[in-house]
Amino acid sequence: MPDFQVYRTAGSRIVAGEPLYRQSDGHWQFKYLPAFAFFVAPVSILPAPRQAQTTDPRGRDYNPWSDTARVAWFACSVALLVALVTLSLRLLPDRTWRGGTIVAVTILALGKFYAHELELGQTNILLAVVVLLALEQWKGGREASAGALLAVATVVKPYAVLFVPYLVVRRQWRACAGFAAVLAIALLLPVVRYGFRDNLALLAGWWSTVTASTPPNLGVSDNISIAAMYAKWFGVGTLANWLALATAGLLVSACAWMLLAAPKTGFPQYLDAALLLTLIPLLSPQGWDYVLLLATPAVMLVVNNLGGFGRPVRWLAIASLMIAGLTLWDIVGRQAYTLFMVSSVVTFCYLFQVVLLLRLRRTQVA
């Protein structure tokens, strides 16, 4: 759980009033808003791991089960994973398949991403659950609460800021107000520990860390973003950047068309949120493969509506999900798996899922 250690370090720094963003952290830099460090501060206070009597084959000299904070974080992550699947199924409109079947196919498609998330101790599951809780508020007619929760999701992962233009396009002004209020509080929260001037320095440090750490990650095989796809094919540079911008522009334009259309379904926000969550790892330059767990609502929506597609499209939908989810280096071998990832097959599979979501909206199915 190396990413958990990043959170614990950030929590200890904010408790001590120390700088959060340091180049000396290397790859394991804290890349979240300063307010999130307050959220994870409690894990830095829990007891540290004690020495174990034996050393495992990798040379670790502590017993992970003695690390109270690590065990608690893992348990919470598993509970959040259950909540993610449960909420996605419960909010799914017009269910046509049995719940057990939808969940089983979803786990087959996304299981390896769930496992990787838990192994790293990441917080993408938390992001997805908060967005789904916002959907639940929306369904109940509580727009301001939905917007506030989307702001909380942005504190968890800045990716969720993608929902801001959506709220504006949908003219959800109460949601916009709720979002703005909570985000303003989050941005000002570190003032209580650092003061106004140092808080501004923290925010500048956050932006510098995020932008400076992006280019080195584009060539990593596990990065499935559109930007990484072109960087793998043509190398990090001007050509890859322009191709990525052009492709992202076309994708965003197509999705904007969908959002501007007047949906006739009873709960269109489910498909809207499913689409935006799926776009996050594709559009973010640091879209690691396990971030695709955010596509849980999208996968359930596609699976639930397979009957509405023609036979060839139906089989392509299933095949793309299974290819992306069941290709494991433990089975195919490290060399074949590396080629699979460098070829950006997973990126194409989920771009196809986006196309399917757009088709569901065009046909007014969801």
The pTM of the full predicted model, rounded to 2 decimals, is 0.90
Mean pLDDT (the chain) is: 88
Q: First and final CA of the chain: distance in angstroms?
A: 38
- Dist CA 244 CA 237 (whole Å): 11
- Dist CA 293 CA 269 (whole Å): 19
Kindly list the distances between the CA atom of residue 184 and the CA atoms of 113, 189, 191, 321, in Å, as whole numbers in the listed order: 32, 8, 12, 39
pLDDT per residue as tens digits for the range 183-232:
999 999 999 888 888 889 888 888 888 877 777 778 788 899 999 999 99
For residue 266, pLDDT beyond 80: no
Tell me whether residue 312 is exposed, middle or buried, using C-beta atoms within 10 angstroms of its C-beta: 0 to 12, 13 to 18, 19 or more: exposed
Residue partners of 32: CB distance under 8 A and separation at least 6:
10, 155, 156, 157, 158, 206
Q: What pLDDT, on the 0 to 100 scale, is given for residue 69?
A: 84
SS3 at position 105: helix
For residue 10, pLDDT beyond 60: yes
- Dist CA 302 CA 314 (whole Å): 9
pLDDT per residue as tens digits for the range 318-348:
999 999 999 998 888 888 988 999 999 999 9
pLDDT per residue as tens digits for the range 96-142:
899 999 999 999 999 999 999 999 999 999 999 999 999 999 998 89
CB atoms within 10 A of CB 138: 23
CB atoms within 10 A of CB 82: 11
Between residues 266 and 298, the one the model is more confident about? 298
For residue 242, pLDDT beyond 90: yes
Residue partners of 361: CB distance under 8 A and separation at least 6:
258, 261, 263, 268, 271
- Dist CA 14 CA 202 (whole Å): 11
Residue entry with tokens 């909570």: 182
The answer to whether residues 19 and 13 touch, using CB atoms and an 8 Å cutoff, is: yes
